[in-house]
Amino acid sequence: MASRVGSLTPFLVMELMERALEMESRGQSVVHLEIGEPDQQAPPDVRRVAAQVLENERSRYTDSRGLLALREAIADDCERRSGARPDPANILVTSGTSPAMLLVFSLLLEPGVEVIVPEPFYACYPNFVRYCGGVVVPVVTHASEGFAVDPDEVKARITPRTRAIVLASPANPTGAVQTPEVMNSLAQLGPPLVSDEIYHGLVYDGREATSALSLDSESFVLDGFSKRYAMTGYRLGWLVAPDWAREPLRVMQQNFFISASDVAQRAGMAALQSGAAALEGVRARYESHRDLMVKGLRELGFGIPSQPAGAFYVLAEAGDFGEDSLALAHALLEKAGVAVAPGIDFGSSAEGMLRFSYAVSRSSIEEALARLGPVLPELARKVGSARKGDA
């Protein structure tokens, strides 16, 4: 087996989900708060177009970069949301944002170079970097500061080996939204931003997220349809690249992925044409769910210094119930039938935390909170006893 494969670590969120699915297959009830997946259906026009294509048309390979009409629609959508319209020639449609990330890091990295990644981070970022030969340089952010990234600290970590700065705003798992000033400062540091904007548009309390498209032409911007349009299963995303990168990325796409699904691409066009009108309702729904989740978790004893400003996650301090977040997540799944994500999946600084997704129904959040209530005091007593023993 190649050493690059051996360097990969498990995606613990998926392992928790797979265990939860095993329990459900045996008839046990589980409330899923572990994965970042909207529980509603994709917009009606998306489902209608996909069904029509499958029923009445022959689905084919497309231009490796994606259907031109879709790339133009994506460019228009970017302009509506960021004020900057990328050249459709610089847009590459991918089978979700994960392949886009793999393409970008394959383009930028070689053995021994470095990538700066604010922590807590999306669990897969380090594996993408390591798989492509790079070294992750974490910059820890703090819950008490709303997980804001400090550009001066990032600057201090830049070396001649630095090839990129990864940034997600809104972020998974923290829900942090970086200010325009922070985004602009990071874009001016030299290494290109790899800006993961999959949660762009899902921002609360009257705030807005800044897109790297409006800051710097040398940034790589990753985005897609999964979160805003509840299209996770369609596996459809895109990448906006600098001028110099579009040709090598096209060649890699041709060889490694051919093209994204024709059916999914045409469904994506329908999402951009009609789904955007429903986005405000989706955003308001998630904001209400966030408030319910934060209030309920605080009442149960979890630490949440500040409310997340975007995405659909709460990263809560859970050390009073167990300092090993993976063991705690398994305990809550087995004892309460509530699946959550262990903080350790998002970097060592998130150990002792748990991530809760509120992209589910209000009733699911209420049920999860009710199930956790009787279980947590027992876990807290065990932690308290262990701490007394250590003393």
* pLDDT of amino acid 389: 67
One-letter amino acid at 280 equals E
Instruction: Let me know how many helices (H) and strands (E) the chain has, helices first.
Output: 13, 12
In a domain, 389, yes or no: no
In a domain, 17, yes or no: yes
**36 closest CA partner among 242, 279, 227:** 227
What token pair was written down for 298?
A: 């605080």
Whether the bond between 173 and the residue before it is cis, its omega within 30 degrees of 0, is yes
Asked whether the beta carbons of 209 and 169 are under 8 A apart, the reply is yes
DSSP string computed for 20-74: HHHHHHTT---EE-SS----SPPPHHHHHHHHHHHHHS------TT--HHHHHHH
Residue 112 Rama label (left phi>0; alpha psi -120 to 50; beta): left
Residue 85 and residue 115 in one domain: yes
Residue 77 and residue 164 in one domain: yes
Residue 294 and residue 273 in one domain: no
In a domain, 134, yes or no: yes
**89 closest CA partner among 249, 196, 271:** 249
Name the DSSP letter for residue 324. -
Residue 273 and residue 292 in one domain: no
Assign residue 255 the CATH number of its domain: 3.40.640.10
Residue 229 and residue 119 in one domain: yes
Distance CA 333, CA 337 (A): 5
Residue 50 and residue 192 in one domain: yes
Residue 26 and residue 159 in one domain: no
Domain of residue 298 covers: 3-41+278-384
* pLDDT of amino acid 7: 85
In a domain, 186, yes or no: yes
Residue tagged 């209030």 (tokens): 295
SS3 category, 91 = strand
Distance CA 163, CA 270 (A): 36
Residue 270 and residue 347 in one domain: no
In a domain, 391, yes or no: no
Residue tagged 């394959």 (tokens): 106
One-letter amino acid at 48 equals R
Residue 78 and residue 152 in one domain: yes
Stated pTM of the model? 0.94
Residue 318 and residue 184 in one domain: no
Q: Hey, how many other C-beta atoms are within 10 angstroms of the C-beta on 149?
A: 24
In a domain, 267, yes or no: yes
**Total domains present in the chain:** 2
Residue 22 and residue 62 in one domain: no
Handedness of CA 12, 17, 18, 20 (dihedral sign): positive
Distance CA 88, CA 171 (A): 26
Q: Hey, how many other C-beta atoms are within 10 angstroms of the C-beta on 211?
A: 22
**183 closest CA partner among 165, 158, 208, 210:** 210
What token pair was written down for 186?
A: 């990071």
pLDDT tens digits for the chain (391 residues)?
898 898 899 999 999 999 999 999 999 999 999 999 999 899 999 999 999 999 988 889 999 999 999 999 999 999 999 999 999 999 999 999 999 999 999 999 999 999 999 999 999 999 999 999 999 999 999 999 999 999 999 999 999 999 999 999 999 999 999 999 999 999 999 999 999 999 999 999 999 899 999 998 899 999 999 999 999 999 999 999 999 999 999 999 999 999 999 999 999 999 999 877 788 899 999 999 999 999 999 999 999 998 999 999 999 999 999 999 999 999 999 999 999 999 999 999 999 999 999 999 999 999 999 999 999 999 998 887 777 666 5
What token pair was written down for 268?
A: 């994506």
3-state SS string for 134-170:
CEEEEEECCHHHCCCCCHHHHHHHCCCCEEEEEEECC
* pLDDT of amino acid 349: 97
Residue 251 and residue 120 in one domain: yes
In a domain, 240, yes or no: yes
